[in-house]
């Protein structure tokens, strides 16, 4: 955790090349005037760099566990460090404090998500029409169908919508208007188990606990660690041709 204090600034700097495209404002069809009007080239570059860092930094602050920060104190400390003025903490103390803070609030966020997930699945299993399997997967039959069921090595063609248990949507083949075709054993365990219960034409709602989903790590910025998931899945075909 020694260098974690520099993490957000580093991310902002790494994003800079992709975003630092100097734009010009059109004064007329014949003449273009630069967007900056500072007294010299270095001042303008420094101001532009500040805009890029500030914009990226603002977005990256949202990823801090606990979701809170104090912009005024952040700016004071940043400006003092940049100028070489005296600060309230040594760099070593700042690194240690920041690392401990992140670790503490990551743990708190994790416990909160675990409690929310446990409460959701405990309440959901008591609802009418909900079936809970031995693994912990819960499902609801939205539209039944009879016929062949897929095996793990089969390819399946499905339409689906996915959301977190708080209702936040994160993916939808329906919105893309493009069904997913994939080998069944290449998806998350909750899907592998659930789709083997279905026949083409059926539509189920899967309630997937984190250990049958994306586990303790989550999936990028979209699905946090220890997240329960909800999927509406329609099985269109098994081993579709010409896909």
What residue spans define the domains of the chain?
Answer: 4-106, 128-238
The DSSP result for 145-212, as a single string, is --S----TTSEEEEEEEEEETTS-EEEEHHHHT--EEEEGGGS-HHHHHHHTT--TT-EEEEEE-GGG
Q: Which of 164, 193, 159 is nearest to 176 (CA)?
A: 159
Percent of the chain with pLDDT strictly greater than 90: 57
Looking at 57, 98, 121, 231, which residue is catalytic?
A: 231
Using CA atoms, how far apart are residues 208 and 188, in angstroms rounded to an integer?
A: 9
Whether the per-residue pLDDT at 243 is higher than 70: the answer is no
- Answer whether 214's CB lies under 8 Å from 227's CB: yes
Mean pLDDT, residues 26-48 taken together: 69
Looking at 171, 182, 192, 232, which residue is catalytic?
A: 171
- Answer whether 5's CB lies under 8 Å from 95's CB: yes
Neighbour count for residue 239 (Cβ, 10 Å)? 15
120 is catalytic: no
Using CA atoms, how far apart are residues 36 and 31, in angstroms rounded to an integer?
A: 15
Residue 73's Cβ-side half-sphere holds a number of Cα atoms within 13 Å equal to 5
171 is catalytic: yes
pLDDT, tens only, 43-73 = 888 888 888 988 888 888 877 887 788 889 9
pLDDT, tens only, 155-184 = 999 999 999 999 999 999 999 999 999 999
The model's confidence at residue 30, banded by pLDDT at 50, 70 and 90, is: low
Spell out the CATH class of 128-238. alpha beta
Which residue, chain included where needed, has tokens 């899967």?
A: 206
* Rg value, the chain, Cα: 25
Looking at 101, 154, 170, 192, which residue is catalytic?
A: 170
pLDDT, tens only, 65-123 = 877 888 899 989 989 998 999 989 999 999 999 999 999 998 898 899 999 999 999 99
- 66: tokens are 């606990």
Looking at 102, 130, 188, 192, which residue is catalytic?
A: 188
Using CA atoms, how far apart are residues 137 and 202, in angstroms rounded to an integer?
A: 18
Q: In this predicted structure, what is the pLDDT of residue 35?
A: 60
160 is catalytic: yes
The model's confidence at residue 188, banded by pLDDT at 50, 70 and 90, is: very high
- Answer whether 138's CB lies under 8 Å from 132's CB: yes
Mean pLDDT, residues 143-149 taken together: 96
Whether the per-residue pLDDT at 18 is higher than 60: the answer is no
Neighbour count for residue 111 (Cβ, 10 Å)? 11
Q: Which residue has the higher pLDDT, 29 or 2?
A: 29
H/E stretch holding 60 reads: helix 41-61
- 61: tokens are 């602050």
H/E stretch holding 46 reads: helix 41-61
């Amino acid at each position: 955790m020694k260098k974690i204090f520099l993490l957000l600034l580093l991310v902002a700097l790494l994003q800079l090349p992709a975003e630092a495209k100097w734009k010009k404002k059109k004064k007329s069809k014949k003449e273009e005037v630069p967007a900056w009007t500072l007294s010299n080239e270095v001042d303008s570059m420094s101001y532009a760099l500040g805009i890029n860092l500030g914009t990226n930094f603002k977005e990256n602050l949202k990823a801090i566990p606990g979701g809170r920060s104090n912009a005024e104190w952040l700016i004071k400390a940043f400006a003092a460090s940049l100028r070489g003025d005296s600060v309230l903490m040594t760099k070593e103390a700042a690194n240690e404090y920041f690392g401990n803070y992140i670790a503490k609030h990551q743990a708190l966020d994790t416990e909160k998500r675990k409690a929310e997930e446990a409460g959701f699945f405990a309440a959901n299993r008591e609802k009418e029409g909900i079936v809970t399997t031995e693994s912990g997967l819960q499902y609801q039959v939205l539209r039944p169908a009879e016929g062949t069921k897929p095996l793990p090595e089969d390819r399946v063609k499905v339409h689906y919508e996915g959301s977190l248990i708080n209702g936040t949507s994160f993916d939808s083949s329906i919105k893309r208007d493009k069904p997913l075709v994939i080998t069944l054993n290449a998806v998350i365990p909750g899907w592998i188990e659930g789709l083997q219960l279905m026949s083409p034409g059926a539509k189920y709602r899967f309630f997937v606990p984190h250990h049958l989903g994306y586990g303790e790590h989550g999936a990028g910025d979209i699905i946090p660690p220890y997240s329960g998931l909800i999927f509406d899945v329609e099985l269109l075909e098994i081993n579709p041709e010409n896909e």
